[in-house]
Amino acid sequence: MLDNFIINQKDIEPKEVPALVLAYVGDAVYELVVREMLVGRGMTKVQQLHREAVKYVRASAQAGALFALEDILSEEEMAVVRRGRNAKSGIPPKGSNVVEYRHATALESLVGYLYLQGRSQRAREIIAKAMDTLDMN
């Protein structure tokens, strides 16, 4: 699905894009894929969709999922994760602490990086694995 939305990226070199910009893009991609997967599970009530989506997209959930994903990430992907984690991302949202927020930013940076590289299938795999991990908890 995401392949249909990929913009003309000829001038975008993801390795040169600031980590917080990668996270900005990754946040949108992550949210879209989560929503798509929830609709694919047959959920039809908006309130239920929202409640379920929040379980996957909140900072604490993303941070927890990142730890489970580390074993399947390449060295290149781990380097992007470190860039995202070390970026000064400001004040965490209510209900989250700085450590969780930085790890969530790291995951979103990775998703944004993969998306801007045109590797949306890999981004989907990572998001699906994150959701599976969170479903087990």
| 27 noted as active-site residue | yes
Angle at 87 between CA 54 and CA 117, to 5 degrees: 75
CB half-sphere exposure, 16, CA atoms < 13 A = 4
Q: How far is the C-alpha of 123 from the C-alpha of 108, rounded, in Å?
A: 10
- Max Cα distance, the chain (Å): 41
The active-site residue out of 3, 27, 71, 132 is 27
Q: Are 37 and 128 in contact (CB under 8 A)?
A: yes
Q: How far is the C-alpha of 127 from the C-alpha of 69, rounded, in Å?
A: 10
> How many residues are there in the chain?
137
> Which of helix, strand or coil describes residue 18?
coil
Q: How many other CB atoms are found less than 10 A from the CB of residue 115? A: 26
Catalytic (active-site) positions: 27
